[in-house]
Structure 1
Amino acid sequence: MCMGDFNEVLLRQECSHAQIAGFREVVDVCGFHDLDYEGRSWTFEKRVAGGSYCRVRLDRALATADWCSRFSEARVSHLTGAASDHGPILLRWEQDESDRRRKTKKIFRYEVMWESHEDFIAMLAQTWQGGGKAHTLQELNEKVARLAGSLSEWGAHSFGHVRRELKALNEELERMRSDTTRAGGPSHAEIKVVERIMELNHREEIMWKQRSRITWLTEGDRNSRFFHLRASQRRRRNYISKLKKSGWSVH
């Protein structure tokens, strides 16, 4: 399977006057098939002279017949990108029920991105001081628990659910950019949506960087997917499936 920006089209209906013979030949020689996709028909959009837009499908996923047979439910989605002329493409395939993520009890997690809020320090001090003094270990534990609850509520109110908001904003941006009647540059509303998406992407990167426990990468590396994979690997390593005592397995 091969996917990405090929900077070329396969079919004449995808773009008029396109030179597709060479690319078509390579695809045939490799035995590739163009995977089905969902969403708009183009992945690249650029404004040209006269205020109109050039829209073509330059990004795609190709796979051999064996791969398609093994992953028969595979689908490609054309998403809307905020920071590039190219829209991202997402490849999905159905997972077995046994591979789905186990649901665990939600625990408190301190989020580094909270520190970027201008009211964070004042809120933290007010909450801690408002609980009174702790004279015993039990009172200290109760005070810390109250602080954790307050932080979680404040974080949800001040930052919301990043992924949920990102999904809604990307859908709104998709609706705006799919309007074939629009002309000229992006509207003020579209610019505001893009700015908000970029802000939330930055927060999500901070969140995954914190979870990854990777300190040897530079601040400039913004690969959220990489951090997500490392965090998932750590969760799998820490998972205890069973305990064994005196030769007997105890689940």
Structure 2
Amino acid sequence: MSCIIWNVRGLENQRAIRELKRLIAKKKKPSVLSLQNKIEIALSFIKHSEKHWRFTGFYGNPEPGSRNISWELFRRLHGNHELRELPWLVGGDFNEICYDREKFGGNMRPMHQTKEFRDVLKDYSLQDLHGSGEFYKWVNQRANDELIFERLDRFVATFSWRILYPAARAQSFECYHFDHRAILLDLGNARVHQFHNGPRFRFETHWATEADISDTIARGWCKEYGSLTLTHRIQNCKDALSAWAGNRFRNFSNQIQKMRARLNRLKKSVNWSNSVAQIQTLENHIETLASKEEFYWKQRSRVNWLAHGDQNSKFFSRKCIDQKS
């Protein structure tokens, strides 16, 4: 199941229709589609996989002096006791930012404005649903010093809704010729996440010996601003580690073989005595790679009863291959 929000002007023209078709094609038949053009609210009650919840498409008043009218409307939307019991998802163009960091260019917003918005979200326990794509969702499309980016559009949800969909992930998309980006919220489901396209992520034991592993994890953990769920932070760390590792830890045997060949050439050279430091460095690198290779295969073999000193990569490799066959 998925939801799309997009603040778009002029749905009657072909350019907007083409963009809309392109967005829908990314997620076939989104269950909730909110298109905003100065429409303050759109309210829906959703039943999905026996889960009942409500969705509100929201448009904040663009005039700062009238923003309090929007927040008052928001409070009324909170509803009576029966509505409050339902998990709540809200998405749209709020025409406001939560923090100064959500704006680039132009004058900063008055502190009381951003605080009022934060207070509204806090009063009803609504939290940002972060994800991927561009951080800023609106651009004024002007040049040079007049260029302004702001994060006006977002999905927010109550804790009870996030419990229903812990794997929900938002993604923003560039909409060419339009000032607002569209945001697609993929709710995810257990069946989808049982299958993986591409190699499965593993935290390799030997990564812990790398000097820059701590910085990599910290960057992933702190990648996005705001209050993220533990699931989202772990996903960000996984993405950061995958990018960091790349191909640098693959083909240990080939790397060791190349280093040994280089080491043999140095030892056979007539200037062997002048290469002692270089030889020692190569020998240390070979030892380090051999240790990493041992950990690599040991982690895949699921054999834990051998001591770390039993360097038997062929045994671990064979054990791993046997398990796959």
Asked if Structure 1 and Structure 2 have the same fold, meaning a TM-score greater than 0.5 normalized by the shorter chain, the answer is no
Which has more radius of gyration?
A: 2
Q: Taking structure 1 as the reference length, what is the TM-score of the superposition? A: 0.43
Q: Taking structure 2 as the reference length, what is the TM-score of the superposition? A: 0.34
